[in-house]
Every structure is written in structure tokens, then in C-alpha cells.
Amino acid sequence: MPYQNLDELKSEIVTLWESGKYSSIADLTRHIIAEHGDFGREQDSLRRSVSKIIQDSEPDKELLVENVRLAKDKQRLQDVQRIERKAFREDVRVENAVAQFGKELANQNKLHAKKLIENINIKPLEYSADKHGVGVIQITDVHANELIDLPHNQYNWTVLSKRMKKLINESLRYFAFRNVEKVIMVYTGDLCNSDRRLDELLNQSTNRAKAANLLAHIITQSILEVRNAGYEVGIVSVLGNESRVKQEMTFSNEAFSDNYDYTIMAQVKQVLEFANIQGIMFHSIDKMENVIDFGEQKWLVMHDMPQSTSKQEKTQSIIGKYALSGKPVDFVISGHIHAHRGTDISCRSGSMSGSNTFNEHALGLIGRASGVCYVVDGKERYYQYIDLQYADNEGYGIVKELEAYNIKSELKTRQQTAIFQVVI
């Protein structure tokens, strides 16, 4: 059936033009006239109609470009939103996980506090007009997760608990002799050992996270023992270098508080605050250095990475530094170097862990497990060296905690079967 008008040939016209066989619209028009006739129109009129059909069939390039741009913008926005939603979801997951962890930790500390109240008979505080002065127990360089096995020094959790209890008991005896009124327990860093060197990794009794829980349990018992002797107890703690979490050594309080010393003391603080025991007060636990004001004396407490208590000149220098900054101090106590040294203006306590291969071979120092307690009375001060190397006394309770946390020590309790044995 012949076509009645040109519009019925639109698709054919477009197809023929797109085939590329025709050099011009006039050539295409002549082909259409030859095939379908002139539809009663002049050739020039048909040529214009064919041209319009072809133009109408071609897409608007500007519109096409704009559509492509809009599509790209839409896709970019979708990608950005997808990334933002993913980042938000991840942040929310982390925040929820941390919040839940903190909540569960607080719940566990509440349960621990409840058990403390149920199982320990907290004695009332003892006040007397005859008592005077403040007793200070310094606890430093505990290196709780370190295993030491030298001919002249063995150290593990059992030894640690015995040495800690001996330090507390000997200090309380000295305080009773001096008739002190209250006690401050000062922790001068390195409660946990480092795990950055290979020899430190090899000499770990357990990892630091688990060690922190067990040491917090031991420290809690020691604080309660001092409190049950009838004294008000204050707690001050500074941070050590070995207990830092990160590899990098930092020197700002904010960065340096990413430290197991802070984590341990914060956990002890929360447990005892939940227990609501009268007469136990926590002071600063998140600084590298601190000054304790005893009224007529001010003491600088530090771990002492610069070894300011190693020489008289260096001690006088740091006292001068504090004086220049408007904070005069009278006495400096520190740890860090595992060897006791006492002078008129400073005292460096030995460590609870005692001598190890690092201080003997790397530093060339032979140490001995020891501690120090002090009495501050007006302008007077006294300190007592306490030998901790041999502690045959009973230690703090750790058996159940060792089963839960201390894998290496637990394995030693099992019967071992030899798979190869040489008999001479």
C-alpha cells in the first residue's frame, strides 16, 4: 500500500540518513521521490520536510550534555552519601561497642565492690590527739607482668603479691612506731612491664591487659589493708615510661596518659568508689609529675625518666626548675632506676621486681628488690628502707585470678609428659 504523505516515512528517512549512503539531504530526497513518488509536492518542498524530519530526530546536544552532567552529579552525591553513611555506621558501631564495654566494666566493678563490702570487715577510722604526721608508702616499678629467673632474683605473680604485702606490713609497723595520723600511698610508675623489646616479650608472664586486671586486684587489697589499720588513706599516682600503650614516647600529660598505670589506678578507683568505703580518697592519677602539699613541705613525685635523683646537682636543678615556675618543692621522690638512693633532698626507691637482665647488662647496675616508706611531720621528714628481696610472708590472694589470667603460670601447674628423654 503506497504511503499517503511524508510523515509516514519518518523512520525510514532517519534510517536511510544514518546509514551514511547519502552525501546530502537533496540526494536522500531524490531517492525518496524515486521510490515513493513526490506526494504531489515540489522537490524543494519535500527536501525541506526531509531536512526537518532529520533535524527533529537528532538529540539536542546541549540537553544531552546537561543530562549527563546531572547524572554524574547525582552519582557523585550518592557515592558521597554512601561513604558518609558507611563512616557513620562504623563510628556508631565503635561508639556503641565502647559504651557497652564501659557499661559492662562498670557493672563488673560494681559487683566486685559489692563482694568487697560483703567479704571484708571494714574497721572504723581511728582518731587520736596523740597522732601526728603523715605516713607515705611509695610503690614503684612493680613490672607486674614480668618473669625474672636469675640465680639471685626470681619474680612472678606469687613473689609480687608477697613483696607487696611485706612492703605494706613493714610500712604500717614504721607508721605505728612514728604514731602517724594518716597515710598517703604514692605510685611512681611502671606498674606494668613494657612489651616493645624482644626480651620483654619473652619474659612476660601474661599480656599487659590481663596483667592490669590482676594487679588492680592486688593493689585494691593493699589499699584496704592500710585503711583497715585505722588510717585515712589518700592515693596519688604518676605515670611511668614502661607502662605506656604506644610505641612512641610522648611528654604531654594528655598523650602520656594512654598508659596502663592510669588504666590500673582508674579501675581500682572505680571499684573502691562503688564500694563507698569511708576514709579512702583518690587524688591525681593521670600526670607525669605531681606535687603533694603537706602544709609545711611540698614534695615532687615523679617516675623520673631524666634521672633527676641520680646526682645531687640534677636534683637541685629540677627543684630550681620548679622554683622558677613558681612552684617551690622541698623534696623529690622517684623510681625508674631499680636501685635505692637517698639524700637530704631526694629519695629514689628501688623496684619491687628487683634486678633483671636489662638493668644488669644494658645499664650495668645490680639492683635488689626494695621499697621505701616515709613520714612527714611538720618540717621534719624521715624515710625507712625496706628490703623486699626475700619475702617469706603470706601474700595477697591471687590464686583464682591466676587461674583466669596468668596462662604461663597455670600451665606450670600441670603434669608434663616427656615426648623425648635422654638418660645418661
Whether residue 301 is predicted with pLDDT greater than 60 in this model: the reply is yes
CATH number of 120-412: 3.60.21.10
Contact predicate 28/9, CB 8 Å: no
Q: Is the dihedral of CA 324, 325, 326, 327 positive or negative?
A: negative
Count of H-run helices and E-run strands, the chain:
13, 13
Confirm whether pTM is higher than 0.75. Answer: no
Residues in the chain: 424
Residue 360 pLDDT grade (very low, low, confident, very high; cuts 50, 70, 90): confident
For the chain, what are the domain ranges? 6-57, 120-412
**Res 244: pLDDT:** 65
Cα–Cα distances (Å) from 106 to 103, 270, 273, in that order, read 5, 8, 11
| Terminal Cα-to-Cα distance of the chain (whole angstroms) | 116
Contact predicate 45/57, CB 8 Å: no
Q: What is the DSSP letter of 358?
A: I
Whether residue 319 is predicted with pLDDT greater than 90 in this model: the reply is yes
CA distance 308 to 315: 5
Phi, psi of 199 (to 5 degrees): -65, -30
293 forms bridges with which residues in the sheet?
Answer: 298
Share of the chain above pLDDT 90, in %: 40
- Cα torsion 404, 110, 211, 347 to 10°: value is -140
**Res 1: pLDDT:** 53
Residue with cell string 628487683: 354
Cell of 144: 607486674
CA distance 290 to 269: 18
Whether residue 94 is predicted with pLDDT greater than 50 in this model: the reply is yes
Q: Which of 115-124, 330-339, 380-389 comes out lowest in average pLDDT? A: 115-124
CA distance 218 to 265: 11
Contact predicate 384/155, CB 8 Å: no
CA distance 274 to 113: 6
Q: What confidence tens digit (pLDDT) does each residue in 235-283 have? A: 999 998 876 655 555 555 665 567 888 889 998 999 899 888 999 999 9
Cα–Cα distances (Å) from 35 to 7, 38, 40, 158, 239, in that order, read 15, 9, 14, 109, 99
Q: Report the SS3 class of residue 132.
A: coil
